[in-house]
Chain A
Amino acid sequence: MPDGLAIDVHGMTKRFDGLTAVNRVDLQVRTGDICGFLGPNGSGKTTFIRMLCGLLRPDGGSGTCLGHDVMTGSEAIKGLVGYMTQRFSFWDDLTIHENLDFVARMYSIGNRRRVVRESIERLGLEGQGNKLAGELSGGWKQRLALAACMIHDPKLLLLDEPTAGVDPKARREFWEEIHRLAEQGLTFLIATHYMDEAERCHRLAFILNGKLLSQGTVAEVIEQAHLTTWSVSGPDLTGLAGKLRVRPGVEQAVAFGNTLHISGDDADALLGAIAPFRAAPYEWRGIDSSLEDVFIHFMGGRAGRQMEGPRMDGPSS
């Protein structure tokens, strides 16, 4: 890849009926990186990913994906990219083996039989290849989907909320697999809402209302938010949270077990806000802001405190 960038795009824009779903997004992902793509529902993650793999025509933008032009080279890109859709999109009425075999044929893989057999072995599904995909549980469907979108040995994997509805153990195994593959040089762009998953990524990109707000490592993204957070413990934290939320400088007051996390991006204002309560029975402690605090901060800070209306993510989602 030139400059070692698997994805290098600028000004990517997509509009649906006058609504801008993705607004001039720049994104660079180094080869071999796992890039977490964060953002609330309807923020434009799926639309952006679909533009990268040629499923949607961008209304604007330029750049390359795996060295091919994103505007004109979508046929070439399709052959090098594995795309795992948000919803399971393999054929329920085909067996595991038939699904994999079909995908292998679509990518014109030479030693198809061997590749499919090995893929089933790697899945740990030897002898179960004749099971219908529709009969699999959520976790197995997700593993099948990953295996299927890797069958042509792609260089870049675009995974759209791959672990939605998957139990914690399967999720952990899934991420271990991702890291293993990244070490072998595969590049990942993974859309997710889960903070624990975001923290497993090398880099993060945060998108909201179609705009990229922040990009970098977990530490960098937290740093960029300039967020100050206090932890407080004591009696009636729910009541305290209610009192604090209305004070200027307090952006969030969120319960974490027996403590309350208070954050705001203006450290002095926050200090002033909590000052009246900094006495017994409350115990206060300055802590590092978590990624979730930052996530909520980005959502709340930019869009105001009111609920965001639902947004289109694309015609068929």
Chain B
Amino acid sequence: MKFSPSRLWAIVVKEFVQMRRDRLTLGMMAGIPVLQLLLFGYAINANPKHLPTAVLMADNGPQGRTLLYALENSSYFDFVRRVKTEPEGRRLLARGDVQFVVNIPENFTRDFLRGDRPAILVEADATDPVATVNALAALNAAVNGALKNDLKGPLAFLSGTAPPVELQIHALYNPEDITAYNIVPGLMGTILTMTMIAITGLAITRERESGTMENLLSMPTRPLEVMIGKIVPYILVGYMQMALILLTARLLFRVPMAGSIALLMAVTFVFIVANLAMGITFSTLATTQRQAMQMSMFFFLPNILLSGFMFPFRGMPVWAQDIGEFLPLTHFLRIIRGILLKGNGFTDVVRELWQIALFAIVAIALSVKSFRRTLD
């Protein structure tokens, strides 16, 4: 048989006709590039500024104020909290409320005027090295530049070779700035999201496509039984994946595990259920397995880009952060990084946890509601 252009054309035409019939695929072909362009173009920023910073001012002298003013002017630091004690600052860092705590010690003004080169302590939440590296680089310049103006007249003797203050930076939780410490725990959440949604996305559509749904519906069963019955096996799968990743994280990447693994496992349950429920919802909404896969893809994209997995959450514009706050992955990443790297306990993670739980409840309600009890 010779290569026949007319046969080739027949196949091309058939593909186009089928493509036109599948509206969802067509929509995705336009939707995915647009979504990617918007997210990558507008939402992602590897040089986050205006990072929330707490300040501990044990000295109220003018030089300290000048310093803080200079930091704020560098546009990397936004002073959002004032704390009274060091533990209070630590706690804000652990919870992720602030990225930095700037500590102006007692007698700062006196030591400065004496030329004793007083220390300024800056504690940074370095779980995500990308988020802090530029800010810390700007720190030195800002501090030295700020005090230049003060070193006039009687204080001119201080503008010698050594800087007038000593800058001490404590990169907490990940002092060596190892990116893997941030990425590997993040991957746990990302992998769970991807597999859980993809697997259950197919759960109902597969029955529908193979015709077994008609059979299942003709038996006396309730939608909730079908939903939960389809979710439970994959909860176990999720835990097996979790164990696998944790083991790899420990053995290959030496990721620190400062907090309680039992707590992590317990929290993961809510996260897995949230994703499975989302997948089941896609499965009830889609009519074919392919549509379910496409919906999962569409959901997965913002999860990767807006959750703080790949790019610093605080680098994103407010609208992107708002979207990110809806995603269970965003909260799970904070929890898992908090537990593994910062050693956070239940009280630190609970306020992220209830947001995942809320998502799970809404997703379950949605899936039960959209589950069609009949073939109508």
- Contacts from A to B (Cβ < 8 Å): 50, 53-57, 75, 78-79, 81, 83, 85, 87-92, 103, 106-107, 314-316
Contact = CB atoms under 8 A, between A and B. Distances in A.
Interface in B177-231: 208, 210-215, 217-221
A92 B207 CA distance: 11
Contact of B219 (A78, A92, A316): A78
Contacts, number: 51
B220 A90 contact: no
B274 to A, nearest CB: 28
Contacts of A91: 212
B211 A50 contact: no
A293 to B, nearest CB: 34
Contacts of A88: 211
Contact of A316 (B211, B218, B220, B221): B211
Given A55-B375, A57-B374, A314-B375, A89 B212 contact: yes
Contacts of B22: none
A103 B219 CA distance: 8
Contacts of A103: 219
A78 B218 CA distance: 6
Given A87-B211, A92-B210, 13 more contacts: A53-B218, A54-B374, A55-B374, A78-B219, A78-B220, A85-B214, A89-B214, A90-B212, A106-B219, A106-B220, A315-B375, A316-B208, A316-B213
Contacts of B219: 78, 103, 106-107
Size bracket, chain B contacts = 10 to 19
Contacts of B375: 50, 55-56, 314-316
Contacts of B218: 53-55, 78, 81, 83, 85
Nearest to B222: A75
- The SS class assigned to the A binding surface is loop
Of B217, B219, B221, most A-chain CB atoms within 10 Å: B219
A57 B376 contact: yes
Given A85-B214, A85-B215, A92-B210, A315 B221 contact: no
Nearest to B219: A106
A88 B213 CA distance: 11
26 contacts: A53-B218, A54-B374, A55-B374, A56-B375, A56-B376, A57-B374, A57-B376, A78-B219, A78-B220, A81-B218, A83-B215, A83-B218, A85-B214, A85-B215, A85-B218, A88-B211, A89-B211, A89-B212, A89-B215, A106-B219, A106-B220, A106-B221, A107-B219, A314-B375, A315-B375, A315-B376
B214 A90 contact: no
Contacts of A87: 211
A194 B218 CA distance: 25
Interface string B357-376: 00000000000000000111
Nearest to A51: B374
A82 to B, nearest CB: 9
A316 B376 contact: no
Nearest to B218: A83
A106 B216 CA distance: 9
Contacts of A83: 215, 218
Of B211, B212, B213, B214, most A-chain CB atoms within 10 Å: B214
B76 to A, nearest CB: 57
A140 B375 CA distance: 27
A124 B214 CA distance: 27
Contacts of B210: 89, 92
- What are the 5 closest A-B residue pairs judged by CB atoms, nearest first? A89-B215, A83-B218, A106-B219, A78-B220, A89-B211
Nearest to A88: B211
Interface in B210-261: 210-215, 217-221
